[in-house]
Structure formats: structure tokens, C-alpha cells
Amino acid sequence: MELPEFYRLMGTVDLVEPPKHVLEGILMHRLERCTHSRKVHKRVRRSFDISFEGHQYAPLRASGEAYIFHILRGAFDIIEIMYEFELSDFEWLVNFILHDVVEDAPEAGRSRFLTHANIVMRMGFETAQEVSYLSKRTVFGTKRENYIPDLLGCGYWRPQGAKFIDRTDNMRTLSAMSREKQLAKIRETEGFALPLRDAMFRNLYEESEKGRIPPHKLHLPQTLYTRLMRVVANEKLRLARES
């Protein structure tokens, strides 16, 4: 979701200390567009609870807003895409909502290990395993030197799709960073985006061969790649005009 549209939707919601029940209500209302399943709503609501609690006391983003708005924008993007593609695998949405909660736990005064354990207990081991591929640090805090290669080779399309959504929204708020960091983020994005698209396609293709997903879902990686690179191109043009 583009930033102007998102902020219009938020209306008078406090961008620094937003009330959880308001954001959760907005998210669940959007989710109604894709599904009325009580089971799905309960699972998405639970993942949002974990994410909100995990980021509640974390520092503000460079854009000056609470981190949870990044989660909300990405969730809206996924819901819109799921509606467009007629998808029903909501674990992709759950993966995204939880994608940074373990890595950012210390910033909110929490333990990475206990946060991971909380996800295992409340969301299940498989979800925790998939989400772990989206963290640049292990549950013990050590830096994962092979973060991107591990994500590319993980064999799960959901965290790979979540990474596309994550980076697309990060690119939208890129201007809040220093020029040097903006250029570094653009170079990094251009370096992994195409391999990520191909890795995600391979995983989806394997699932389609086993009859687990409909063939039209195979267009999803290219759609996510195109959306991301369009935002990257716009940011590069903005930087060129500012120089």
C-alpha cells in the first residue's frame, strides 16, 4: 500500500504510540476481504498480538513512526495480493507479521530465545522455523553471516515472499535514511531480488508438481519482484533528482 493511502486510512491514529485494539481491528477488517474463516482470523490475530507486544517498546523507525506500522502496511499488501490471486495460504501473512520479532527482541527489552519459544508455543514449530529464515541473527544473538544464501536455499516460499514484502515497504520509507544508507540499501536490494524471485519460483513449482497449489500461483514471484523493482526505480530517480 502506498504511503499516502495508508496514512489516510490511519486517520487520527497516533503514529508513535498507536492503540493496539484499533490497529488490530483495522487489520481484521481488511482480512475479511479474503476470508471469513474464524480459524484464520484467530491465527492472524494471535500473530499480530505477538508482533505488537514484541515491538511495543522498540525504538521508532527512521521515518518517525512506531515499527508496527511497517507490519501493518506489509500485511495490507499481502491481503491485497492474496485477494487478487485468489490465494488461501494465510501462513504467508503470518510469516510476514512475525518476520522481525525475534531479531528485534532486545531493542524492546526482550530475549530472542524466549521470543522464539513463544512463537513455537503459540504458532507452532513449522511457523517458527520459517520465520527464523527472516532473521539476521540466531535466537542466541549471533549474526548469521549467510542470511541471504540461507533464505534463498531454505525450501520455503512463504518467508521468501515475506522478504519481498518487507523490502518493498522499506524502500517506500527509504528517504528517511542518510543518502549513503539509501544507496547501500538499493545496491543490496538489486543484488538479491532476482535470485530471490527464482528461488521462490522453484519452491512454488515443486509444490505445484505435488498438487498442493494451483498453477496460477506460479506468477506470484514475478509479481512481487516487479512491484519491488518499480519502487527501487522510483527511489533511484528521486535520488538522482536530489543530487
Q: CA 46, CA 211: separation in Å to the nearest integer?
A: 29
Residue 56 amino acid letter = Q
**pLDDT value at residue 104:** 87
Burial of 148 (0-12, 13-18, 19+ CB in 10 A): middle
As for how many domains the chain has, the answer is: 1
Residue-wise pLDDT tens digits, 125-181 = 999 999 999 998 888 778 888 899 999 999 999 999 999 999 999 999 999 999 999
10 and 31 Cβ atoms separated by less than 8 Å: no
Q: CA 129, CA 164: separation in Å to the nearest integer?
A: 18
120 and 128 Cβ atoms separated by less than 8 Å: yes
Residue 170 amino acid letter = N
- 532473521: which residue's cell? 135
Contacts of 182 (CB under 8 A, 6+ apart): 174, 175, 235, 239
**pLDDT value at residue 159:** 97
**pLDDT value at residue 5:** 86
Residues of the chain with pLDDT under 50: none
**pLDDT value at residue 172:** 93
**pLDDT value at residue 106:** 86
**pLDDT value at residue 58:** 84
Q: How many CB atoms lie within 10 A of CB 234?
A: 13
225 and 194 Cβ atoms separated by less than 8 Å: yes
Burial of 196 (0-12, 13-18, 19+ CB in 10 A): buried
State the CATH number of the domain containing residue 19. Answer: 1.10.3210.10
- 547501500: which residue's cell? 184
Query: What is the domain range of residue 75?
Result: 3-242
